A and B are shown apart, each in its own frame.
Chain A
Amino acid sequence: MELLEAIQDGVTVISPKGNINRATSPELQGRLSPLVEEGKDVVVDLSEAATVSSAGLRVMFIIAKAAGEKGKFVLASPNEMVADILNVTGFASLITVKDDVESAISFINS
């Protein structure tokens, strides 16, 4: 997994590329955790995330809880299969998921 970071309209966009699994999810958590602790608004752009396993889902959940009221945490652009996993596990009702990064940023900045 590679992690790209960009700032778009004042929002930090983290783009993981590859597989988010038990081997790679600690690195993702390590990158996201300080951002949400500081109260920054964060979008995780999943467009290049080929797979997300339960370890990856757990990290998203921990980060969303840590973000709490301090900042907004939004997932964007999951592929069809990742979107299905988010739905069937119930994550999609716990974490905001948007179809693309632009909608995620407008949601945060609205």
Chain B
Amino acid sequence: MALLDLTVESSIEELQAIANQVDGVAEQQGWSQKTVFALQVALDEWISNVIKYSYKERSDQPIRVVVNENEDELIASVEDLGTPFDPSSSAVPATLDDTLSGKREGGMGLFVMHHLLSDIAFERVNNRNIVTLRVKL
């Protein structure tokens, strides 16, 4: 059984509901502050992207968040039914000058995710986008 299996609507306000649930699981599992921070920020970044790019700001679509852990890592997956959206198709910027000056958007979130996570994997399965985020415990 997953530690957390939650489906929310694709509204940006749901970010707090997810954060609260993750905090609850973190306390129960005794995860370090650093681990919880990485998971919370990665989920914030990814779900913001799903709402913006996959669901094009529609707020009534499902987003499923599942969190599990094994011996040495925490594994979170996020599923949506929106437009195919592959993060590996948008390159992580080598420098952040363009994102900071507003020339391009979105790169900074991915940059932060790559910094915090040990792995990000993307799949398109049965019309679903599924991203799997891994954090070292």
Contacts and interface: CB of A to CB of B under 8 A. Distances in A.
Interface size class of A (residues with CB under 8 A): 20 to 34
Interface stretch (B40-48, B63-71, B79-87, B125-133): B40-48
Interface in A60-91: 61, 79-81, 85, 88-90
Main secondary structure of the interface of A (DSSP, over half): mixed
A89 B108 contact: yes
Main secondary structure of the interface of B (DSSP, over half): helix
Interface residues of B, number: 22
A90 B108 CA distance: 11
Interface of B: 12-13, 15-16, 19, 33-34, 37-38, 40-41, 44-45, 48, 95-96, 100, 108-109, 111-112, 115
Interface of A: 18-19, 21-24, 50-55, 57-58, 61, 79-81, 85, 88-90, 94
